[in-house]
Chain A
Amino acid sequence: MKSREFSYWLFLTPVILSLTLVVIIPLLFGLYYSFTDWNGLTVSTFIGLDHYMRVFEDQRFISSLWFTIKFSVVTVILLNILGLGLALLVTKQLKSSHLLRTIFFMPNLIGGLILGFIWQFIFISVFSDIGSIFGAESLQGWLSSPATGFWGLVILTSWQMAGYIMIIYIAYLQNIPSELLEAAEVDGANAFQRFRHVLFPLVAPAFTVSMFLTLSTAFKIYDQNLSLTDGGPYNSTEMVAMNIVNTAFTYNEMAYGQAKAIIFFIFVAAIAITQVYYNKKREVEL
């Protein structure tokens, strides 16, 4: 199929049209607005880079960015450990393997916003109930401090996504011939050595895929953040996406929020490109 051919464009037009109207044009508008004093309804003056200059002095934005980075790092590590662990567990010949896969994947089917509300209920009401039964002080007062809010978000996200990451690892684990592992066992390698020298190199590509997935998801989280903590207490658990929405709507600074969104986009893109670059490099080395 040549690109000059009519059919080539016929096949491509619908998606190009939709991407242009839904993503590209709004993004360009957004970019333009970020250099003006747009208030959501009208534009009166062009102010250049003022908003972008402001972002770097915006303590609240910087701390939300920092919070998001910390959250993403912790979540990515935890999710990959959990996902791989669960995958290893359910690929053993257990009677309950099939059922367990089903159970671990289930949280993915429910929307983040609703999960946030459910977990809020769990952290506040259920945790304190369990805490008073067992006299565990540490279970009291979840979500009332920056630290518990942070871990609350981490737990929620891990519980929600671990099953998804597990499936990705399973796909790769199933491609590993069992003879390999058995041979290693016969050769007297212990469990850790088998994991380190046989399993791990083989599931490395899965790690790449799931890392990309978890990182981009963790970075852009909004729904869970909104319903679980709503940024509280005192905006200490506000993540970047929420900071942008709040700037635009609560503080009614549409153009400034738009500028933050553009910076956010550049940030996400930079992370993704770095990752792809390193993976490519590693694949070449292998």
Chain B
Amino acid sequence: MRKHKGFTMVLLTFLFLGIFLSACMSDDSENQHAEGKISIDIYQGKVEFRDQFIKLAEKYEEENPDVSISVTAVGGGTDYFTSLRSRFSAGDEPEIFSVAGPSEAEDFKQYLSDLSDTKAASLALEGTLDGLMEGEQVYGLPFNQEGYGLIYNKKMFEEAGIDAEKILTYEDLEEAVQKLDSQKDELGIEEVFALPANEEWVISNHLANTFIAPEFNNSVMEAYESGTVPFEKSEELKRILDLQNTYSIQPTLSMDYSQQVEQYFTLEKVAIIQQGNWIYPTVAQMDQTFAEDNLGILPIPVEGHEGKLPVGVPNYWVVNDNKDDEVVEASKDFLNWMYTSEEGKEIVLNDLNFIPAYEGFDTSEIADPLSREIYEYSSKGYTIDWVFVGFPTPWTDSLGANMQEYIDGGKTWEEVIEDSRREWEGMRQ
């Protein structure tokens, strides 16, 4: 009996300790934003630069003692958009959050503040605001610019005697690939490509976008408003997908991004991968010199658009309108500071490693060779836009799934195109 009493007491102690502590903790969380300060919650889906972004926010707090910022980055296991939506349906709305483009912004129409009077909006580069504009109203400020293409190993191209500058058309590319393939042993590679077909976004968002963007005149809004998808260049898309798949390390359907970039490309098992400038930190972390000296990027050849690289705005910052005016203004001030003040720009360039989407940056400071090259294309206007942020939200997923099924031999290419077109039309009704 006595022994049991002890057990009961321990249990009760635990219980009350738990209740007491959780009560304290919840007090803390309420007081996270100190009294009398304007508090700004920022919600975004890029875990990659979470720490650097927190640093940026802290810097701003130092300069503006009346503002307190808390940053939440939603990571891998949870879909960013899922948790954003549940925050909103719970009435726990962030002041600033990110959306990818008009299709994602659709559900949040009533929450978007007009940002057209901000300094940042006036400095945004030509075309970077288009994805979230309505007439004269600007609803989102671009995070940055990103670009993708065929990233290749410079040293290997030299060894194989290929001049990357001369690869413009599909035929040029095919010839180069065959040349590399015939010298696999000398170059020490397993295959020419590593195609991560497991990642739907690589084959559908990116690769398919390259061939769909021209038919929407490179306009996100045109894609967003279109009731159907013409797919005039579907044969070209098939050709390049087949090329990558044929000359890739197999099986492509289970290969993921991390294998493609780290295991195969950085360890020099393949010569070319279809990817974008975001791979740089990962490559540099594994092999600094390789990253600095050995990365080149080529456009994916599109007939009639040779030499153009797909560059676009992956995400926009939007400010929640459903807050007090004072808070909305403070939120805008923070975004302005981030992209237009000297300290902000410094961190954006050197810590976040962004390719800026605004004027007034010292672009010679752009952190890495890939980004510099992409910025080059962008400033000359040799670009294909990222119109996929204007596709119906789930459409890229189903296109990706259809393309995977084609790779696996379960669907013909005609079926892929027909099914995808039908789905687009269904989603746009």
Contacts and interface: CB of A to CB of B under 8 A. Distances in A.
B405 to A, nearest CB: 4
Contact of B405 (A125, A140, A143, A234): A234
Contacts of B408: 145, 233-234
Contact of A233 (B77, B81, B89, B253): B253
Contacts of A227: 77
Interface in A147-195: 148
Interface of A is mostly: loop
A125 B197 CA distance: 16
A93 B410 CA distance: 53
A113 B251 CA distance: 24
A250 B427 CA distance: 13
Interface string A42-75: 0000000000000000000000000000000000
B89 A40 contact: yes
Nearest to B256: A124
Interface string A192-235: 00000000000000000000000000000000001100001111
Nearest to A113: B77
Contact of A143 (B107, B254, B263, B393): B254
A226 B393 contact: no
B286 to A, nearest CB: 15
B404 A226 contact: no
A125 B198 contact: no
A232 B85 contact: no
A110 to B, nearest CB: 14
A125 B259 contact: yes
A279 interface: no
Contacts of A144: 198, 251-255
Interface in B218-276: 250-256, 259, 263
B198 A250 contact: no
B402 interface: yes
Contacts of B254: 123-124, 141-144, 148, 233
Interface in B42-100: 77, 79, 81-82, 85-86, 88-89
Contacts of A148: 254
A141 B250 contact: yes
Contacts of A234: 401-402, 404-405, 408, 410
Contacts of A123: 254
Contact of A249 (B81, B200, B253, B256): B81
B394 interface: yes
Contacts of A39: 107
Interface string A105-127: 00000000100000000011100
A40 B82 CA distance: 10
A285 to B, nearest CB: 40
Interface residues of A, number: 25
A252 interface: yes
Given A40-B85, A143-B254, A144-B252, A235 B401 contact: yes
Instruction: Assign chain B's interface to a size class.
Output: 20 to 34
B251 A249 contact: no
B181 interface: no
Contacts of B89: 40-41
Contact of B85 (A143, A235, A249, A251): A249
B397 interface: yes
Contact of B198 (A40, A113, A140, A232): A232
A123 B259 CA distance: 13
Contact of A41 (B77, B81, B107, B198): B107
Which one of A41, A123, A232, A233 has the greatest number of beta carbons of chain B within 10 Å?
A233
A143 B254 CA distance: 6
Contact of B404 (A41, A113, A233, A249): A233
A252 B402 contact: no
Contacts of B394: 250-252
Interface string B377-418: 000000000000000011001000110110010100000000
Contacts of B198: 143-144, 232-233
Nearest to B400: A234
A226 B85 contact: no
Nearest to B254: A144
B259 A232 contact: no
A142 B394 CA distance: 27
A273 B89 CA distance: 34
B410 A250 contact: no
Contacts of A41: 85, 88-89, 107
A250 B253 contact: no
A40 B250 CA distance: 41
B264 to A, nearest CB: 12
Given A41-B88, A125-B263, A233-B404, A252 B253 contact: no
Given A40-B89, A41-B107, A234-B408, A250 B79 contact: yes
Contact of A226 (B77, B107, B256): B77
Contact of B259 (A124, A245, A251): A124
13 contacts: A40-B85, A40-B89, A40-B107, A123-B254, A141-B251, A141-B253, A143-B198, A144-B198, A144-B255, A234-B401, A249-B79, A250-B394, A251-B393
Q: Shortest 9 CB-CB distances between A and B: which pairs?
A: A144-B254, A141-B251, A144-B253, A144-B251, A234-B401, A249-B82, A234-B404, A234-B405, A143-B254
Given A125-B263, A252-B394, 14 more contacts: A40-B85, A41-B88, A41-B89, A125-B259, A144-B254, A232-B404, A233-B197, A233-B198, A233-B253, A233-B405, A234-B402, A234-B408, A250-B79, A250-B394
Interface of B: 77, 79, 81-82, 85-86, 88-89, 107, 197-198, 200, 250-256, 259, 263, 393-394, 397, 401-402, 404-405, 408, 410
